[in-house]
Structure 1
Amino acid sequence: MLINDNLTVSSIYQQIAQKKAELANLDKEDLTKSFYEKSDSVNLTNSGNYDEEDYQRVLDKFENLDSKTRSHEQLHASLAHTKGAISYNYQMGPDGKLYATGGHVRLDTSIPKDEAAAIAKLYKLQKASAAPDGLSSADASIARAANLNKMLLLSKEQGVENAN
């Protein structure tokens, strides 16, 4: 049976099955992530015997990591246009509170057609992605891509000027 533009019913079912498999893989990844986040905890109530200094040391690490994580992501977001809010990963500390242990912000990496605006935006992207200490691989990747695109635009611009 022919539907439209050489699409058959079987090819449509095949595409649907492929999309379902992709969604199932995404669900499986999310389930795995949530399992590790839930099982990554310390149960201090069972032993009843813990050192107050250790408790405070662990709590201080959570608080410091939370502060650094939030500062890191907010610095990214403040230096360039974003495509949404900052997203944080949380872990429960020994005091029962949630602490940010990771995060990401989606930077707007679209490139305007105007070359001057594109170069200005690429400078901002490079600065925003490379600004904080402790760059992640995603940060470094965006910084490299922005720098490469900026260099390509500048070389194109210089090539045009040299041809005249």
Structure 2
Amino acid sequence: MEIYDSYQSASSLYQQIAIKKSELSNIDKKEFQKSTFEKNDTVVLGEKNYDENDYQRVLNKFKNKDNEIKTHEQIHASGAQTTTAISYNYQVGPDGKLYATGGSVRFDTSIPKDPQSAKMKLEQLKDASSSVGALSGADASIAQAANLNKMLLESLKEGFNYENR
């Protein structure tokens, strides 16, 4: 009977060990699935998953556009009086830095009472808004308005009267 009891206790021990191994195997399987899911689901910074040439091409486009926009707006601002600092629109580039993608300058468009000063200021506004190579719609509109106002001043000086009769 003792042999039978020992055999039964050894058998139950092996059975318990097998159950524990099975439980551990299931835990390992769940952990493996979880880690695989996390690896595929998350973004790991620093890993290269892009073509270096494409990255450099896009980065160069951001840098060139930034330089072009800033130069364009600084040329405008240097030509006439402004009411505020240059305003830029920014976008984050592929390297995590901010690059200008647009901008604007607010000119002082008040007209002095003295006709000669007004004519000079309108000429400055026209020159400042049209001094860059590639005119935006706003640039052209300001240059056109300044030119029309200058022509109106000159015609008033010559004695034309545009009042309604």
Q: TM-score, normalization: structure 1?
A: 0.68
Secondary structure of the residue aligned to 2:159 is helix
Q: 1:48, CA displacement in angstroms?
A: 4.2
Structure whose alpha-carbon radius of gyration is higher: 2
TM alignment of 1:119-130, pairs within 5 A: 119-130=119-130
Runs of 4+ in 1 over 2 A off after TM superposition: 43-49
Number of residue pairs aligned between Structure 1 and Structure 2: 118
Structure 1 runs not aligned, ≥5 long: 1-42
TM alignment of 1:44-59, pairs within 5 A: 48-59=48-59
TM alignment of 1:26-37, pairs within 5 A: none
**What amino acid maps onto 1:89 in structure 2?**
N
What root-mean-square deviation, in Å, do the aligned CA atoms of Structure 1 and Structure 2 show? Answer: 2.0
1:80/1:107 contact within 8 Å kept: yes
Counterpart Cα distance in 2 of 1:74 and 1:138: 15
Structure 2 runs not aligned, ≥5 long: 1-42, 161-165
**What amino acid maps onto 2:78 in structure 1?**
S
**Structure 1 stretch displaced more, 133-142 or 87-96:** 133-142
Q: TM-score, normalization: structure 2?
A: 0.67
The CA deviation string for residues 55-106 of structure 1, in whole angstroms up to 9 with x for no partner, is 1111110000000100000010000000010000000000000001100010
Counterpart Cα distance in 2 of 1:133 and 1:47: 41
Secondary structure of the residue aligned to 2:95 is coil
**What amino acid maps onto 2:106 in structure 1?**
R
1:66/1:100 contact within 8 Å kept: yes
1:44/1:50 contact within 8 Å kept: no
